[in-house]
Structure 1
Amino acid sequence: MTASRLPQIVTALAIGATLSAGSVPAASAAPAYTEYVALGDSYSADATLTQITTQFVPEGCVQSSRDYPKQVAAALNVPVFRDATCSSAKTVDMVGSQSPLVGPPNPPQFDRLTPTTDLVTVGIGGNDIDLMSAALRCGSPTAFGSPCKDRWTINGVDKISVNIANAQAKIVGTLDGVRERSPRARILLVNFMAGVTPGVSCYPMVPIADGDALWLADKLIELNAMLASAASQVGVELVDTYSGSLGHDACQPPGVRWVEGLIPFSADPPGLAVPLHPNQLGADFQARSVLAAVND
């Protein structure tokens, strides 16, 4: 399959339990790809406070030693692999250095691309629209109302929705930039898992007001729809991690949830966690979703 193939949405619901449970497939004997580069933000770095690695990026990127790109690279037995993913990354960090909160900068992520790169995953966009920063400030002393939504709605206009619409050109530019630098590459745009599920709130387990939980779920759907549109516009594949992750949101108990809540602790693996980010179960599911797309 070439990078010019019309995009397809790889829905985990459609292929059943193969993606929703079980381990990542073992490495193939003969590599189908020779040079894999992973680009993206904290949802691709699977940001962690217990499994940080500096193999590919500075410590401030809080990149996990078991993020989905590393699992994909291992399963595909790729000879050359570079993981540029970094927490808080935006599309501008593809072409410019990013300065994490601590430590040295992460070089432009596009610097890892070469003309011989033949597989690229991209997971970006959440920080461009300010959704994560909004969600992290949505903690509420009560379950009633929608204070976070109200704060982001000015004169009846939802600022996050405006940001989502404006971000499509940035995503398209990113995908075009990958294709320009690595014309042989198969490009997969990976969307965002369902950290919040429509109609599901669990105050005070996740201390976000019920109205804001609904609002965040709606914004996530809007974001993923924009990513699908961008993928279609450029002609790359979209890997849908959202559909198969429904029911594994932050409101679910340990062992079931794939995204942690506002309380910075995880059972998978045990220890401090990055709020509202994938735990190891979520990273494993992302890896299975990408591998299902690659092997299709």
Structure 2
Amino acid sequence: MKVSRLAAFSSSLLLGAVLALTGAATASAAPSAQGVDYVALGDSYSSGVGAGSYDSASGSCKRSTKAYPALWAASHAPSSFAFTACSGARTGDVTSGQLGPLNSSTDLVSLSIGGNDAGFADVMTTCVLQSEATCLNRIATARSYVGTTLPGNLDSVYSAIRAKAPSARVVVLGYPRFYKVGGSCVVGLSDKVRSAINDAADYLNATTAKRAADHGFTFADVAGRFGGHEICSGDAWLHSVNWLNIGESYHPTAAGQSGGYLPVLNSAA
């Protein structure tokens, strides 16, 4: 019996030693977290308009510390982070003024772009201030632009990014649907208009996704993350019309950036 206990004790010690060595070997073999060189491009949805906490040095670009690129950088500690997204940016603004930080060492690029090219700010202004028929016509004009002109503009941006950052993983983020149709809003736009605006956002996302895929980029759809958090949902992650700060209207709140955009970038990056 004593021999058996001694043998069991010895076996236990041996097993513990083996496990300790194995654990040590596993720990030493595990790859250490390596920072990336990250560049964030794009329009107001990437700069963080609507989230508050704007960097005064960014001026009218309104880059927010609560925007998804800044949140991603804060949580991942990349070896470098360049944030050039700017409120109001169109595709041409990205190619002419935002690509400076890109180079052959860039590992990750994120951007949202195309909404301003299609005139979505003007769409919303028209729909809020004018008749339903005028609004629907303006939406149709925007859709026509997205189908005919925007693809070429996106191609130009994507090609310029790839030329300057040939090895980077490029994540193109889309736009949310604005409205929960049949939701809690009892005044304002009709559900017919809200549906047409949502459909136009879907069309913009589908067009962008196709162009991104053809360039080998990853399209990251945020519409699902914003599901249940649209305007009229009762828990909106988007500003409705903000008469005190009109530029924040129809942009993600801080919760929309952290709860909507950031998880999508986390998964895609």
Q: TM-score, normalised by structure 2?
A: 0.80
1:245 maps onto 2:226 in alignment:
yes
Q: CA deviation at 1:211?
A: 2.5
Larger Rg: 2
Deviations 1:107-148 (A, max 9, x none): x10112122111000110100111122113321588xx4441
- Identify if the C-alpha distance between structure 1 residues 123 and 31 changes in structure 2 by more than 3 Å, giving closer, same or farther: farther
In structure 2, which of residues 239, 242, 249 is the aligned counterpart of residue 260 of structure 1?
239
Aligned to 2:44: 42
State the alpha-carbon separation in 2 of the partners of residues 169 and 125 from structure 1: 11
Give the number of the structure whose residues are more often strand, by fraction: 1
What secondary structure, in the 3-state scheme, does the structure 1 residue paired with 2:46 have? helix
Higher relative contact order (CA 8 A, sep 6+): 1
Contact 2:238 2:253 in 1 (8 A): yes
Q: TM-score, normalised by structure 1?
A: 0.73
- Identify if the C-alpha distance between structure 1 residues 50 and 186 changes in structure 2 by more than 3 Å, giving closer, same or farther: closer
The sequence identity of aligned pairs, in percent, is: 24
In structure 2, which of residues 220, 239, 250 is the aligned counterpart of residue 276 of structure 1?
250
Contact 1:203 1:209 in 2 (8 A): no
1:290 maps onto 2:268 in alignment:
no
- Whichever residue aligns with residue 215 of structure 1, its letter is A
Contact 1:239 1:289 in 2 (8 A): yes
Contact 1:32 1:76 in 2 (8 A): no
Aligned to 2:166: 183
Aligned to 2:177: 194
Aligned to 2:3: none
State the alpha-carbon separation in 1 of the partners of residues 184 and 192 from structure 2: 9
In structure 2, which of residues 142, 150, 154 is the aligned counterpart of residue 160 of structure 1?
142
| Runs of 5+ unmatched residues, structure 1 | 1-28, 97-107, 266-270
What secondary structure, in the 3-state scheme, does the structure 1 residue paired with 2:115 have? coil
State the alpha-carbon separation in 1 of the partners of residues 71 and 212 from structure 2: 23
What secondary structure, in the 3-state scheme, does the structure 2 residue paired with 1:117 have? coil
Q: CA deviation at 1:259?
A: 0.7
Where do residues 71-220 of structure 1 align in structure 2 (5 Å cutoff)?
71-96=71-96, 108-140=97-129, 145-150=132-137, 152=138, 158-165=140-147, 166-197=149-180, 202-204=185-187, 207-220=188-201
Contact 1:195 1:248 in 2 (8 A): no
- Identify if the C-alpha distance between structure 1 residues 112 and 197 changes in structure 2 by more than 3 Å, giving closer, same or farther: farther
Give the number of the structure whose residues are more often helix, by fraction: 2
| Runs of 5+ unmatched residues, structure 2 | 1-30
Contact 2:46 2:67 in 1 (8 A): yes
